């Protein structure tokens, strides 16, 4: 069943058109990946879904309803949450205070401080630390926890691996199974193509605001991806 879809979405920043007729689909229970070079429009699409930069043309449909021009907080209430690029924690607040920001007006659901700590057991130990004292990987876990505490049906993740060591990225990605077990569907923006492929059932590649490849992650080859990613038409 389609849970979320983009239909011919054009997003603009002033006069600059950032995406061109993007069609995209997320089924219930699915994890899909959105890949593409810097500036391809990945974050822009997540922002359009979340209502942070509304699409000028086209539609964002969620659970059968048009949410294209709904306010961000109302979209969150309906069950979409974002882990933003750069994590954006409140650095002067503790881990627990940051997490509770997500829970302040949460929907009912399985995610509580306890279930987030079960997902990231190490977080229990540093729950009273200031966010500024954390490593990048720990901050990323808190940003994910904060989004989960809104009890979303769809989790949008923007470049979770940015600036993190491979071992830490592995630990972060290991939490996905636990998140999906609780019925959360995921859209993953990722520049690490290998990681994106292994963590998703389908993937989309964007190039300069256009979808250049869509397919099952297990069947698209690195060669297909390379062409779609760089726009290189040589065979």
Burial class (CB in 10 A: 0-12, 13-18, 19+), 67: buried
Supply the minimum distance, in Å, between the C-beta of residue 42 and ligand ADP: 3
H/E stretch holding 34: strand 31-35
Cβ partners under 8 Å of residue 160, min gap 6: 83, 140, 144, 169, 172, 173, 188, 190
Q: Which of residues 43 and 212 has its CB atom nearest to ligand ADP in the complex? A: 43
* Partner from ligand ADP, Mg ion, none binding residue 150, C-beta < 5-8 Å depending on class: none
How far, in Å, CA of 144 to CA of 90, rounded?
Answer: 14
Judged by the rule CB under 6 A, the positions of this chain that interact with ligand ADP are: 13, 16, 18, 36, 38-44
Supply the minimum distance, in Å, between the C-beta of residue 45 and ligand ADP: 7
Supply the minimum distance, in Å, between the C-beta of residue 37 and ligand ADP: 7
Burial class (CB in 10 A: 0-12, 13-18, 19+), 100: middle
* Partner from Mg ion, ligand ADP, none binding residue 87, C-beta < 5-8 Å depending on class: none
Supply the minimum distance, in Å, between the C-beta of residue 121 and Mg ion: 30
* Partner from ligand ADP, Mg ion, none binding residue 116, C-beta < 5-8 Å depending on class: none
Supply the minimum distance, in Å, between the C-beta of residue 36 and ligand ADP: 5
Q: Which of residues 40 and 131 has its CB atom nearest to Mg ion in the complex? A: 40
Show contacts with Mg ion in window 24-43 (CB under 5 A): 42-43
Q: Which residue has the tokens 């690490």?
A: 192
Backbone angles phi, psi at 73, to 5 degrees: -65, -30
Q: Does 44 bind Mg ion (CB under 5 A)?
A: no
How far, in Å, CA of 37 to CA of 13, rounded?
Answer: 19
H/E stretch holding 176: helix 176-181
* Partner from ligand ADP, Mg ion, none binding residue 39, C-beta < 5-8 Å depending on class: ligand ADP
Residues found near Mg ion in the complex (CB under 5 A):
42-43
């Amino acid at each position: 069943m389609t849970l979320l879809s983009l239909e011919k979405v054009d997003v603009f920043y002033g006069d600059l058109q950032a995406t061109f007729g993007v069609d995209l689909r997320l089924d219930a229970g699915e994890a899909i990946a959105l890949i593409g070079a810097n500036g391809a429009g990945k974050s822009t699409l997540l922002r359009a879904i979340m209502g942070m930069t509304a699409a000028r043309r086209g539609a964002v449909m969620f659970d059968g309803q048009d949410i294209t021009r709904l306010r961000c907080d109302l979209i969150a209430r309906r069950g979409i949450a974002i882990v933003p690029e750069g994590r954006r924690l409140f650095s002067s607040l503790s881990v627990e205070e940051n997490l509770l920001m997500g829970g302040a007006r949460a929907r009912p659901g399985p995610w509580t401080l306890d279930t987030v700590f079960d997902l990231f057991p190490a977080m229990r130990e540093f729950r009273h630390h200031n966010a500024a004292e954390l490593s990048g990987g720990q901050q990323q876990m808190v940003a994910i926890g904060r989004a989960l505490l809104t009890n979303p049906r769809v989790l949008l993740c923007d470049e979770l691996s940015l600036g993190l060591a491979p071992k830490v990225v592995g630990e972060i990605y290991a939490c996905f199974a636990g998140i999906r077990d609780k019925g959360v569907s995921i859209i993953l923006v990722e520049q690490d193509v290998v990681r994106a492929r292994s963590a998703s059932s389908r993937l989309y590649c964007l190039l300069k605001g256009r979808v250049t490849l869509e397919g099952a992650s297990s069947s698209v080859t690195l060669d297909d991806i390379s062409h779609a990613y760089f726009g290189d038409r040589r065979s």
